[in-house]
């Protein structure tokens, strides 16, 4: 699979997640990764039912795609044991690394800026600068 095809596959993943399209998710992911994705998406969607991700950039090298995403949503359900605040968060940075094999996403992991998300939800404060 050429690099552009791999990036297109990650773009399709983001579109499937945004559309909550289980059939599309199953088509572009291997079984193990599809199960892990569903286990991540279900509780996040329960907490932020309107969440959407935006693909900012994807870089592909061999069987690996690194994607910079921005995520937005509204806190309308429990998240990490925290009751809904009703507040939105906007454009929270997320970086994911995906592995592609035989035209499907087989594995992935990511880092999300949950501190920024928590600040926007009013769940964390910024410490004052030291002088």
The strand pairing partners of 96, in sequence order, are 67, 110
Q: Percent of the chain scored above 70 by pLDDT? A: 93
Structure confidence by residue, pLDDT tens digits, 104-123: 999 999 999 989 999 999 88
SS3 of residue 129 by DSSP: coil
The strand pairing partners of 73, in sequence order, are 89
Q: CATH code for 3-120?
A: 3.10.450.50
Where do the structural domains in the chain lie, given as residue ranges?
3-120
- Dihedral, 71, 77, 82, 83 alpha carbons, nearest 10: 140
CA distance 68 to 46: 23
CA distance 10 to 98: 8
pTM of the model: 0.84
Q: CB under 8 Å to 48, separation ≥6 — which residues? A: 73, 74, 75, 76, 77, 79, 89
Q: Percent of the chain scored above 90 by pLDDT? A: 53
């Amino acid at each position: 699979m050429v690099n552009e095809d791999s990036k297109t596959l990650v773009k399709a993943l983001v579109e499937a997640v945004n559309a909550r399209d289980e059939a599309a998710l199953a088509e572009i992911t291997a079984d193990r990764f599809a199960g892990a994705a569903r286990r991540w998406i279900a509780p996040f969607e329960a907490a932020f039912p309107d969440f959407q991700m935006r693909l900012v950039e994807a870089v592909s090298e061999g069987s690996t795609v690194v994607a910079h995403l921005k995520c937005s949503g509204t806190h309308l359900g429990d998240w990490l044991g925290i009751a809904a605040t009703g507040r939105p968060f906007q454009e929270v940075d997320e970086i994911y690394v995906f592995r592609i094999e035989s035209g499907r996403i087989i594995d992935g992991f990511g880092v999300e800026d949950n501190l920024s998300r928590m600040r926007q939800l009013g769940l964390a404060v910024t410490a004052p600068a030291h002088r």
